[in-house]
Amino acid sequence: MTTAHMTTAHTVHDLRAQVTQWKRDGLRVGMVPTMGALHDGHLSLVRAARAACDRVVVSVFVNPIQFDDAADLAAYPRTLDADAALLRTAGVDVLYAPSAAEMYPPGFATTICVRGVSEGLCGGARPGHFDGVATVVCKLLMQALADRAFFGEKDFQQVHVVRRMVADLNLPVEIVTCPTRREDDGLAMSSRNRRLSAEGRARARILPQVLTQCAERIAAGDDLAAALQQARDALLAAGFTSVDYLELRDARDLAPVTATPTAPARLLAAAWLDSVRLIDGVDVGV
């Protein structure tokens, strides 16, 4: 167990004071942006950051401008004390937990809109979501003067949006993508999993199972439309109440794939169970 001293910053001023000192000392700063309610998926990003950087900042901020659904925002779990304990044990140097007023003070008027990769999938189902994500991620990376930032592959479209923004705006930060951590039954770890009922939690394992089986069918050359439709039907038959999307996309640029893929592809889905929206994705081999 690491006993290093973690500090908490609630303001840009306090965070900057710390990272400016690190920069003067020639240290490389890693950042892990999160919305809290931490689990081992988040901690895997922290481990990657610690391995690749001299100092690590983890932000915990439930970003209101990326929610189009007020009920989802209100229900989002907030567990800052438990998060701080986990991050301290994980050897994080600074926990950055700004308030909404610190992030978006009166008069705030800037939005970052990344076209193309933000359209469709989660961007289609959650209007404005990726404008909110791009805006807050840009602010967080600049506030922390991060050299490297770590994101989970579970939020596959988010990684594309962030990479596009960083390239387009020439932000001096390297984006690192980390694999999806899963529970023993295959369910992708997610803060929202804790909102599932016991029965819903038991059924949720169907999502990665269906995706894996569908990916195998596609890789074997089965008819793509039929394989996708069968997977959607399997989710509904298993008790999912609706499927926002279940689509095959080019893994490099998220372009829709409409036939058996000849380049790396990713099968992506978002579906509702127990009024909880779960997302997941798997690679399709070529």
Ligand X SMILES: CC(C)(CO)[C@@H](O)C(=O)[O-]
Query: Footprint of ligand ATP on this chain (CB under 6 A)?
Result: 34-35, 41-42, 44-45, 151-152, 154-155, 178, 180-181, 188-192
Catalytic residue among 10, 42, 129, 160: 42
Which residue in the set 83, 131, 155, 247 belongs to the binding site for ligand BAL (CB under 6 A)? 155
Q: Helix (H, G, I), strand (E, B), or coil: what is residue 41?
A: helix
For residue 191, give the nearest of 76, 71, 66 by alpha carbon: 76
The residue range among 33-41, 74-82, 220-228, 251-259 that interacts with ligand X, by the rule CB under 6 A, is 33-41
Residue 13, CB-side half-sphere exposure with 13 Å CA sphere: 1
Q: Per CB under 6 A, which of residues 167..226 are in contact with ligand X? A: none
Q: For residue 17, what are its two tokens?
A: 């004071």
When CB distances are held under 5 to 8 angstroms depending on the partner's kind, the choice from ligand BAL, ligand ATP, ligand X, none that residue 44 binds is ligand ATP
When CB distances are held under 5 to 8 angstroms depending on the partner's kind, the choice from ligand ATP, ligand BAL, ligand X, none that residue 136 binds is ligand X
Is 66 a binding residue for ligand BAL by CB under 6 A? The answer is yes
For residue 19, give the nearest of 44, 62, 53 by alpha carbon: 53
- Nearer CB in complex with ligand BAL: 131/155: 155
- The alpha carbons of the chain give a radius of gyration, in whole angstroms, of 19
Distance CA 221, CA 54 (A): 46
Does the annotation flag 35 for ligand binding?
A: yes
64: left (phi over 0), alpha (psi -120 to 50) or beta: alpha
- Nearer CB in complex with ligand ATP: 18/44: 44
